[in-house]
């Protein structure tokens, strides 16, 4: 059965109730998150119960700091896509608004975990905090479980083979530092952006390198520069799936041309289809060089050709 997505905690169906509930922001759905969800899946299998992921949308940090720069690794659409293969029955994206932010820890337990979800077992990370003023913690939840009859499992921090703790904060910093390959080691896959291909000024086509322009709105901004990438259609037409297509991309503000908007411009290798308006996924595989201003379009064109050759080599070996 496919994972079902709910955008509120009211009127939940049976696949989201009376089961195991794993709670967290899960931004990035990195390897640590996957281990927590796998632990919850094992508990659900043992109880013969459905597995529900309870997350928050928008991210609480985005709610409390609305003017801060975008930091999300996986907005809801991308998060849902990454969770789909993990054996989850229901993903409940709890709207993080005033009614949730002002709820006490006890009210969160009574109204949402017990009332809406009828949780049999709750799985959380060791640093989980909830309720107004972050007043609730794992001990709060364990004490409530003892009173109300649901189990609680608190999972310790998951670590990579080198002993480093998996964390969304670390993944964000690696991307800002221009280290997408290192970020991929934490994520278990290359980090990707999902968005619609926009019509641009056709400058790339004039230079002999047509590009698909993708808006980064809502996403973290990685280091500006040129990347070896792969692109895949996020939507399908008549059941088509061309798989991942290799390419090279510039992420930034095109200083040689002069632009005020950050764009991800993807030039696809050996591809000539029309994908304007299509929803696509773009995975950053490796960082080639920082964005820079060139002395004219001729120098820029020559550099794009060099970047393309390097990207082809990297992607052939990846």
How far apart (Å, rounded) are the C-alpha atoms in residues 38 and 47?
A: 14
Cβ atoms within 10 Å, residue 189: 14
57 phi and psi angles, rounded to 5 deg = -140, 115
Q: How confident is the model at residue 256 (pLDDT cuts 50, 70, 90)?
A: low
Q: What is the pLDDT of residue 317?
A: 95
How confident is the model over 286-315, as pLDDT tens digits? 999 999 888 777 888 889 999 999 999 999
The 3-state DSSP class for residue 155 equals: strand
pTM over 0.85: yes
| Mean pLDDT, all residues of the chain | 91
Q: Over 50: is that where the pLDDT of 206 sits?
A: no
One fold for 4-155 and 190-317 = no
The architecture in CATH of the region 190-317 reads Beta Barrel (2.40)
Beta-bridge partners for 232: 281
Per-domain boundaries in the chain:
4-155, 190-317
Cis peptide before 58 (omega within 30 of 0): yes
Q: What is the pLDDT of residues 139-185, one digit of tens each?
A: 999 999 999 999 999 999 888 778 888 999 999 999 999 999 999 99
- Compute the distance between CA of residue 71 and CA of residue 160 in angstroms, rounded to an integer: 23
Q: Which CATH architecture does the domain made up of 4-155 adopt?
A: 3-Layer(aba) Sandwich (3.40)
List own/partner pairs for 243-247 with CB under 8 A and 24 or more apart: 244/283, 245/269, 245/271, 246/270, 246/311, 246/312, 246/315, 247/271, 247/311
Sign of CA dihedral 246, 248, 251, 257: negative
């Amino acid at each position: 059965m496919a994972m079902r997505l709910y955008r509120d905690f009211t009127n939940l169906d049976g696949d989201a109730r009376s089961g195991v509930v794993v709670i967290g922001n899960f931004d990035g759905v990195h390897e640590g998150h996957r281990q927590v969800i796998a632990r919850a899946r094992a508990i659900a299998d043992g109880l013969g119960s459905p597995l529900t992921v309870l997350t928050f949308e928008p991210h609480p940090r985005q709610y409390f700091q609305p003017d801060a720069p975008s930091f999300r690794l996986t907005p809801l659409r991308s998060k849902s896509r990454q969770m789909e293969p993990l054996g989850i029955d229901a993903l409940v994206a709890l709207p993080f608004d005033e009614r949730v932010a002002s709820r006490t820890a006890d009210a969160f337990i009574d109204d949402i975990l017990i009332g809406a979800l009828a949780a049999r077992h709750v799985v959380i990370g060791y640093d989980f905090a909830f309720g107004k003023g972050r007043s609730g913690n794992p001990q709060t939840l364990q004490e409530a479980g003892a009173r109300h009859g649901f189990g609680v499992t608190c999972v310790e921090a998951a670590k990579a083979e080198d002993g480093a703790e998996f964390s969304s904060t670390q993944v964000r910093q690696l991307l800002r530092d221009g280290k997408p390959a290192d970020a991929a080691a934490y994520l278990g896959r290359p980090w990707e952006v999902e968005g619609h291909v926009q019509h641009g000024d056709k400058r790339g086509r004039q230079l002999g390198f047509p590009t698909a322009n993708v808006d980064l709105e809502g996403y973290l901004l990685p280091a500006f520069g040129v990347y070896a990438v792969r692109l895949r259609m996020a939507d399908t037409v008549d059941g088509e799936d061309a798989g991942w297509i290799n390419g090279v991309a510039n992420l930034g503000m095109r200083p040689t041309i002069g632009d005020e908007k950050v764009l991800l411009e993807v030039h696809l290798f050996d591809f000539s289809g029309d994908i304007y308006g299509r929803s696509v996924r773009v995975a950053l595989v490796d960082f080639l060089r920082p964005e820079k201003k060139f002395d004219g379009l001729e120098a820029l064109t020559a550099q794009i050709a060099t970047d393309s050759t390097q990207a082809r080599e990297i992607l052939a070996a990846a």
